[in-house]
Chain A
Amino acid sequence: MKKYGKWAFYLLLIVIVALIPLYLNRSKSGKYTIQVLTMAMIWAIATLSLNLILGYTGQASLAHGAFLGIGAYAFGIFVERVGINIWPALILASLITAFLGMLVGLPSLRTKGPYFAIVTLCFNVIVFKVFENWTWLSGGLRGQKVTMPSYLEARWARYYVVLGFLILAILIERQIVKSLLGSSFIAIRSNENLSEAVGINSFRTKLLSFTVSCFMVGLAGGLFAMEKGSLDYTITNYMYSFYLLIYLLIGGAATLAGPVVGTVGLYFLLDKIKGIGEWRYFIFGLILIVVIIYFPRGIVGGAKQFWEWAKKKYYRTGEVLE
């Protein structure tokens, strides 16, 4: 019974989210909000991918900005220069990103902890510099155009496409985490040496986690290209790796709702306070420090903690009353 209630709740949530564009699409400014929400959901998929390797497997990748850009460019180049239909192009782009991720993972996953973070960050800087200077690849000043088929011209259409992929991403991640494989991820996160002792090949498991994570972020990149309609080298900037990290930790790492809540919330907030100019980064920085000190488990982690605490308190007072 309890289980059905949970599923009913999720279904209700999906229905609400699916109904939003119907209301918003009536006005021009509503269309802009649809666009903001679509972008937020794309970033949420990227954050979910980081959650897999950082949140569950405990390896802090700072290269996900680069992989997002690689996925986006692969998609753009397949669609525009090769002339492939967008759906196979989306899968191909994700596969290429996953393959590159595996190649990067082979040397870098031999390192641990902060070493891994720095190696992946360096890879991101390299990719950024290559896209900045190699204008044939990046498309130069005017960037890489990505033409979408006419049925994706309306913003609400892309909203539903992205929403579908977001739900898919959550479901896949949920399946992985609940499976035996997910347990080995978590085992490596909590103690890598111990996990080796119980027979987990930690290197291969980490590599698998990283490759799947890169597949997902490549997908997010492809969707990014689809939504924007044009790309340029700044999409590979390592600042985006930092942003993903922030979205994830503020939302709550190693939870399924955390990445989505953190990304959509922060993205929406930053868009709304755009008017106050540069000082928004000042406020953002302060919030970041305060949140990480006082709510190290993020919004969802904190809410869960609060929920446990409230439940205990509720039942205890209940007992007393009886």
Chain B
Amino acid sequence: MSFFLNQMVIGIQLGSQYVLVALGLTLIFGILDISHFAHGHMYMIGAYLLYIVMVLGGVNYWLALVICMAALSIAGVVVERAVYRPLRGQPHINSFIAAIGLILVLETLVRGIQPDALRVPKPIDKNFSFLGINMEVQRLIVIVGAIVFIILLQVFIKRTRLGTAIEAMSQDREGAALVGINVNRMSALTFAIATALAAVAAVFMAPLAFVSPEMGSVLVLKAFVIVVIGGLGSMKGAILGGYLLGILEALAIAYISSAYKDVFAFGVLIIILAIWPTGIFGGRD
């Protein structure tokens, strides 16, 4: 029983990073209709930023979190402005190709500058035991931190004027433009928020793993699976789907086969979409 509980907690922790990355993706998709496939690589840039700020710059971990979020939201705006805005109105597949181009550029650039994998120290390098579960404190930070940022995002969307504008736009773009919402400003804002969330995920996860140029490529695939299962543009779907995939993976490793875990994760997606062609929460077409 404690083993099952243990796997569940690990699944939730795995799911936490998925949720943070998937939320950004689903926001971008809902509002801009873009499959931002380079989102995982923005996450990777976030982890390298953490290394620069915290390890090279000697800044405190929590302050580094804020700096990385700020810096990456600017990077997100730049990407939106330079790559995606000129493509607005083009077929969906064109922005996908641009995203692949962006992936190639970012990954080779980072590897060209720093070919070796890097380590970031944990802010609290301790373990804790609870109900027979033994794990690093950092994992608790990931789980709790993700919940905090999910709540913050919800509060922002539901309670602030900018947030409601974003929500309005994700539900009806033309209508939003008609009532005077500035589409360009909203696009930039969405990218800023989404990329900042990727920075949060990167800062939380980096101390547990290696910082490497390819760290985002598998993650973004999974985040896309989550976004699609939940329904493109649905935040509720992204949150639920993220935790679900994390738990599914942890349990698949324990009870089915670790080598084929991705086969199960992606297989479940195909089955779900065969039943609900626009995701469980029926996102936009």
Which residues on A are within 8 Å of B, measured CB to CB? 54, 60, 107-108, 110-115, 117-119, 121-123, 125-126, 129-130, 133, 242, 245-246, 249, 278-279, 281-282, 284-289, 292-293, 296
Contact = CB atoms under 8 A, between A and B. Distances in A.
Contacts of B13: none
Interface stretch (B131-139, B157-165, B204-212, B220-228): B220-228
B148 interface: no
Given A107-B273, A282-B109, A285-B108, A112 B101 contact: no
Contacts of B94: 249, 292, 296
A276 B31 CA distance: 40
Interface of A is mostly: helix
Given A110-B277, A279-B108, A133 B259 contact: yes
Interface of B: 29, 35, 83, 86-87, 90, 92-94, 96-98, 100-105, 107-109, 111-112, 221, 224-225, 228, 232, 259-260, 262-263, 266-267, 269-271, 273-274, 277-279, 285
Interface centre among B83, B90, B104, B278, by most chain A C-beta atoms within 10 angstroms, is B104
Interface of B is mostly: helix
A122 B229 CA distance: 12
Contacts of B267: 122, 126
Contacts of B107: 281
10 contacts: A107-B270, A114-B228, A114-B232, A115-B279, A121-B221, A121-B224, A133-B259, A284-B101, A285-B102, A285-B105
Contact of A122 (B35, B111, B225, B285): B225
B270 A119 contact: yes
Nearest to B93: A60
A200 B65 CA distance: 55
B97 A246 contact: yes
Given A246-B97, A292-B94, A292-B97, A285 B103 contact: yes
Nearest to A189: B91
Contact of B112 (A117, A133, A279): A279
Given A114-B29, A282-B105, A288-B100, A60 B225 contact: no
A118 B228 contact: yes
